[in-house]
Structure 1
Amino acid sequence: MRKLLLTLLAAFLIFSPTILNGQELGFKIMNDQKKVRIPFQLFNNLIVVPVILNNQLPLKFVLDTGVRTTILTEKAFSDILNLSYARKYTIAGVGGEKDQGVEAYITNGVSITLPGVRGLGHAMLVLEEDYLELRNYLGTEVHGILGYELFSRFVVKIDYDNKVLTLSTPEHFKPGRKYHEVPIEIQDTKPYIHGTLTYDKDPIDLKLMIDSGASHGLLIDPLSDSCLYIPENNIEANLGRGLGGELNGKISRLKSFEIGKRGWNNLLVTFPDSNIYLDSLKKTDVFRNGSIGGAILSRFKVIFDFPNEKIYLKKGSNYKKKFFYNMSGIVVKAKGSRLSTFEIVDIRENSSGALAGLKQGDIITSINNIPTNRLELGNIVSMLNEKQNKRLRVEVRRGNENLKVVFRLKNQI
C-alpha cells in the first residue's frame, strides 16, 4: 500500500472567528442543528469530503489534522472565482527531485460549504500548480486540504467503516459506549498523542502527531531519540510524494506499539530519510518523535475533541488486520483527463513485480484478464497488494510492445 505523505505548509495564518456585518465568521452547522453527518470517500486511508467554494465551485478536499490553513492545490480553481491574493510566497521544495521553490498565494474572505455546514471569512493558501499530484496518486479528483479550522470548531467523529463524518458542537457532544478516552495535546494547531514502541524488551515512550492526511501507519524519526534506530531487517521504499518530488525511506517491523489501551504486534514502521522529514513543510517547532497516520486511524472509529484535548477510540472492523506493505513492489499513478491510464512510476528492487520483469514507465492494460479501462486506481492497488502468494497475470504496454507477466505477491518485510 502506498504511503502517501502529504508534506504541506504548516503555518502562515491561524483563522480566528470574528463578527462581521452581524455574521459570525468560521464554520457553523446550518439551521442551528447540534450535529451533522457527512458521507465521505476513502482513498488510500485518506478522507475526501465534498466542499463548495464561495457558493459556486464544487470541489473535493482531504480532511487533514496536520494542516493549519485550508489549502487549494491549484491556482486555476481560485482564478475561476476571481479571488484576489493578499500575499505571494515561495516555498522551498522537498523530496530531492528538484530544489526550485514552489509558488503559493494567500487569499482571504473565502466561504467554504460542506453538506450542512457553512464557513465564512476563511483564509486559504493557494498553490500555483498541483505539485502534489493528489488526483494522480489517489485516482480521483482532489482539489485541496481542510484541517484545523474544522477540528477547532467541532467535535469530529470519523467512522472509517461506514465512511461517515459526524460534526457535533462541543457543548452537545457525548462519546457513546465502548469508546476509550485518550488525552491529546493541541500544540501549534496540531494534535499530539503519547504511545509506546517496543523493539525487543523495554518500551519507549513516543510523542506522535496524529496525521489523518497521511496514509502511513506509524512513522518514526530515528534521530529524535537515542533509543530509536532503524532495524537491520528493512527494505528501501518509496514513501510518497512531497512538494519537491518523491520521498524515500525504509520500512521495517517492530515488536509492538500501543496508544492508550490499544495496540498491535509485529507492525510495520516507516523510517523516512532524515532530510525529507526535517525539511517537511508539515514541520513545526513542536518536538515529536514521529506521527501516526491513516493506516492506524482507519482501524478505529475515531472522535477528535480538540477543544477539550481528547481523542476517543473504538475498535473498527479492521482493528486486527495484519500490516502488509506493497507486496507487488509496484507504485502506480493514474494519468489522463479521466485518470484512466495507469503507469508504473516506481518499482522496488527485488520485489515480485520487479523480478517478473515489470519496469518503470510500463502502462498496465489488464490484471487477471480484466482490462484496466474497467477499473479505478483503487481497484488496481488492491489487486496488486491483495494477499500473500496471490497469483497475478499482468499485461502492460511498453513503448510499442505488449507484454504479459505472471507472478505471485510476496511480502518482503
Structure 2
Amino acid sequence: MKIIIPLIILLTLFSCNNQSQNKSEQEPIKEAIILPDNAIPFIYKGGVIMDIKVNDSIMGSFLFDTGSDQLYLDSSFVANNNILTQKGRTKEISGVGANTPRVPVSDNIKLEIDSLTITYNNVPVLNLNSIRGEKIDGIFGIDIFRSSVLRINFDSSYFQIIKPSDFVIPSEHDSLKITIAGNKTFIKCKALILDSLNVDGFAMLDLGSGHNLTFTSVIAHDFNFNDNITNKYSVTHKNAGYGGDSHSYYFRAKKLNIGKYTLENPVMNYSTDESGGLSMWGPMGLIGIGVMKRFDLIFDFPNKKLYFKPNSLFNEHFFSSTTGFTGKYRESDSVAGFIIGNVIENSPASAAGIKPGDIITHLNGLEILSYPDTERNNLFLQDTMELEFKIKRGTESHIVKFVPREML
C-alpha cells in the first residue's frame, strides 16, 4: 500500500511542541575539537540549545526549533529580566495537544546571533520549562536565517552562518527541495512501515521534537495503523506541547528514506490525537531531531534547498524505551528530580511498581540531577546492570530496582 501526500494547507499545521519523550535518547560523545573561526557553538541536550543576546544586553539559553512558527519566551525569563508584557493583550497559541490557551505577549524583542538581528512583536510569553522539562529561556525558529545559508554540524555541535554570495554547493552532499510554509520547513521522505505498507509524502522538519518520525492521526487512520502494527506500546505525554497532553503508539519500522540515504529499523510513533497539531490533514507528520542529528545539514534558505550527508551518528541504533517510563526533569524549591508522567504497560518500570506522579530523586545512590546527561542515558541504555532508583511518592520514599530492557 502506498500514498503520495500533497503539501497543502500547511500554514496552521504543526507548532513544534512535541517535546516530551523517553529521556533515554543517546547523545553524541564529545571529544576535544577545534571549531572553525566562524562557528557558533551550541549544546545538544535532546535539542539544539544556544546562547542568544536579547535586547542588546540580556543573554538567554534558547532552543532552535525548525518547527516553530514564531519566537516564544519563557515567563520566568521575562520576569527576571524586567521585560514588559503588553497590559490587557493576549494571544491564542496552539500546537500539539487539544487546547488553544491565550497567553500574554511582549513587543520589541530583539534577538542577535552573530551578525544577524531580528525584532519581534506580539511574542507569546508562557511557562516553557513545564513543556520542555529542562530550563530554557525561549524558542526560536528559522526566520532569523531566512536570508542566509545555515550549516548545522551535530558531530561538533556548531552552527555556521554563510552569506549566499559566499556559499559553494557541496559536491559530497545529497540535496532536497524544501518547502517553507508558515515559517516551517518541509521535505519529502518515504517510510517503509511493514514489507507491504509504505507512506510517501511531505514531513515537517522539527528539530524541536526529540522523536524520529511522528505520523499524524490522519495518516494513522487512513492506513489503519492500529490493526496493521501489532508490536507497539502506548505513551501519553503530559503537557506535550502548547496544547497540552498528546497520545502516541511507538513501533519499529523497516526503513526511512531521505533522499538517497536509508535509515534502517527506526523507531517511529503515530498520534491518536483527535485535535491539535498532530490531528491535521496535509503532511504525513514530523521528522524530529532523532533522525536529523545523523546528518550534516546545510539549509540554503534563499534557494529553498537542503544539503545533507551522513555524519558519525548515522548508524547509531534507534532505541525504543528501555525503562518504560517517560516524564520530565524538574529542579525547583519544591521538586528536584525526574517526574514520572507515563508508565508503559509490561515494562521494567511497571513491573517494579513505578507509577505516574512518582519522582525519581536518586539513581544508584546519587542525585539523578547530578549526572551528566550522557552518563545517565548510557546507564538507561544498557541491559546487563541492575539500576537502583530512589522514588518519592507523596511524603514517603522507597527504593526500586530493575534492569533496563528495550521495549521494541
TM-score bin, normalised by smaller chain: 0.7 to 0.9
Secondary structure, counterpart of 2:165 in structure 1: helix
Secondary structure, counterpart of 2:66 in structure 1: coil
Distance change >3 Å, CA 244–CA 131, structure 1 → 2: farther
The residue aligned with 1:80 is: 82
Greater displacement, 395-404 / 264-273: 395-404
The residue aligned with 1:243 is: 242
Inter-partner Cα distance in structure 1 for 2:68 and 2:389: 38
Identity %: 23
The residue aligned with 2:356 is: 360
Inter-partner Cα distance in structure 2 for 1:370 and 1:132: 24
Greater displacement, 398-407 / 302-311: 398-407
What TM-score, normalized by structure 1, do the two folds share? Answer: 0.80
Greater displacement, 239-248 / 59-68: 239-248
Inter-partner Cα distance in structure 2 for 1:125 and 1:288: 26
Inter-partner Cα distance in structure 2 for 1:208 and 1:5: 12
Inter-partner Cα distance in structure 2 for 1:228 and 1:389: 37
The residue aligned with 2:168 is: 174
Distance change >3 Å, CA 124–CA 389, structure 1 → 2: farther
Extract unaligned runs of 5+ from structure 2.
Answer: 1-14, 20-36
Aligned pairs for 1:1-400 within 5 A? 6=17, 36-44=38-46, 46-74=47-75, 77=78, 80-82=82-84, 84=86, 87-91=89-93, 95=97, 101-114=100-113, 116-127=114-125, 129-130=126-127, 133-134=130-131, 137=133, 139=134, 141-198=135-192, 199-201=194-196, 203-224=198-219, 226-227=222-223, 229-230=225-226, 231-239=229-237, 241-276=240-275, 279-280=276-277, 287-337=282-332, 340-372=336-368, 374-375=370-371, 378=373, 382-383=377-378, 385-400=380-395
Q: Report if aligned partners of 1:47, 1:62 keep a CA contact under 8 Å in 2.
A: yes
Inter-partner Cα distance in structure 1 for 2:224 and 2:176: 24
Aligned length: 370
Distance change >3 Å, CA 244–CA 295, structure 1 → 2: same
Q: CA RMSD in A?
A: 3.0
Inter-partner Cα distance in structure 2 for 1:400 and 1:221: 40
Q: Report if aligned partners of 2:66, 2:206 keep a CA contact under 8 Å in 1.
A: yes
Q: Report if aligned partners of 2:143, 2:183 keep a CA contact under 8 Å in 1.
A: no
The amino acid of 2:43's aligned partner reads Q
Inter-partner Cα distance in structure 1 for 2:243 and 2:181: 27
Inter-partner Cα distance in structure 2 for 1:272 and 1:335: 26
Q: Deviations over 1:150-203 (max 9, x none)?
A: 231221111111110111112211243522222222233322111112221464
Q: Deviations over 1:346-378 (max 9, x none)?
A: 2222210110122223332322233335325x3
Inter-partner Cα distance in structure 2 for 1:121 and 1:400: 47
The amino acid of 2:259's aligned partner reads G
Inter-partner Cα distance in structure 1 for 2:191 and 2:382: 27
The residue aligned with 1:13 is: none
Secondary structure, counterpart of 1:357 in structure 2: coil
Q: Report if aligned partners of 1:86, 1:107 keep a CA contact under 8 Å in 2.
A: no
Q: CA deviation at 1:269?
A: 1.3
The amino acid of 1:270's aligned partner reads N
Inter-partner Cα distance in structure 2 for 1:228 and 1:318: 32
The amino acid of 2:162's aligned partner reads S
The amino acid of 2:136's aligned partner reads V
Secondary structure, counterpart of 2:191 in structure 1: strand
Q: Report if aligned partners of 1:196, 1:258 keep a CA contact under 8 Å in 2.
A: yes
